[in-house]
Amino acid sequence: MTKNSIHVIQYTPEGVKESFPETVDGISNMVSNDHMTWINISGLQNTGLIAEIGKAFDISSLFLEDILNTDQRPRFSDESDHLYIIAKSFYLGKEDDVVHMEQLSFIVGSHYLITVQETDADYFKDVRKNLIHDFNLNANIPIDPKVLTFQIPGGMLSNLLNQMKEMGVADKYPQLLEEMPRVRAELGYPPLVTPTSQIVGSMSVLNVALGRYKMIPREVKDLILGKYGRTPGPIDPEVKRLAIGDAPQIDHRPADDIPPQMKKLREKLAEEGFPNAPIEDVLSYASFPEVTLNFLRHSNIGMKFHDL
């Protein structure tokens, strides 16, 4: 059964504000007459959470029972200050190729909508996109200070969120926060600096979106092989098996496998008209060949060497 998660979206005049509270505390305070608030709850495992939502928003106890009893027929009712809707969604299972049915519950109140679904399937992805597009809303997600607990550097956060938006899984942001330290541990605790921070982050996003290690990028395989150096901790044996199989890991300095290149670099620069290039330019050429050549040809230093 899907673990309960809460996704709150506030459509304000300033833009879209999204949050993923772990408890019901304070959610009712997010509702205001000057904007619409959408509260989506995934999973029915925590019946206490459903009861707390009902108490916070004065939802009919009979309808709360209908939410938890997924054998209910679809229905619509207008009671007191709420509209209550029970709907059914059908989808084809990816693994068993069987048609499944899931119940979706809607509570419409004044300036707020509460939706409750059995699983974490993203039925409302296109709805959110259309609302943001049609009303030209700012969809930037604010930074949550709690990310410090989950070891995500600030410079990575916006990139990861954008990746998840493009993949249509931004609602799985809470899972990403949990997945990030787990992946880092499995990959041997690489330091969260460029480029290994991006490697860990991208792998975490793919795990959340597609399933754990269903798709493993080349950079992750290179990290496990040892091409980025030795990791501070041991790499999880099962992750290693999934990524590189029985391929041997590098147990020495990876750069030792690269043959000497200084002579060849100087020869290439000489062929381009810069036979006496200083060591700084040679090193620049080794890292950024086209950029360095363009710089040398259009700079005073470059013109001087070119005229020799």
Q: Residue 242: CB partners within 8 Å, gap ≥ 6?
A: 213, 216
| pLDDT at 137 (0 to 100) | 58
∠ CA 134-139-145 to the nearest 5 degrees?
160
What are the start-end ranges of the E strands in 43-189? 75-79, 82-92, 99-109, 112-117
For residues 166 and 147, give the distance between their C-alpha atoms in angstroms, rounded to a whole number. Answer: 21
| pLDDT at 120 (0 to 100) | 73
pTM reported for the whole predicted model: 0.47
For residues 241 and 83, give the distance between their C-alpha atoms in angstroms, rounded to a whole number. Answer: 53
Determine the residue type at 39: I
Q: Which residue has the tokens 């062929």?
A: 271
In tens, the pLDDT along 245-254 reads 999 998 888 8
In tens, the pLDDT along 32-80 reads 888 889 999 988 888 888 899 999 898 988 888 889 888 888 889 888 7
| pLDDT at 143 (0 to 100) | 45
Tokens of 291: 């950029």
Say which residue, 303 or 109, is predicted with more confidence: 109
In tens, the pLDDT along 141-166 reads 554 545 555 666 656 776 777 778 78
User: 117 forms bridges with which residues in the sheet?
Assistant: 42, 104
For residues 201 and 163, give the distance between their C-alpha atoms in angstroms, rounded to a whole number. Answer: 10
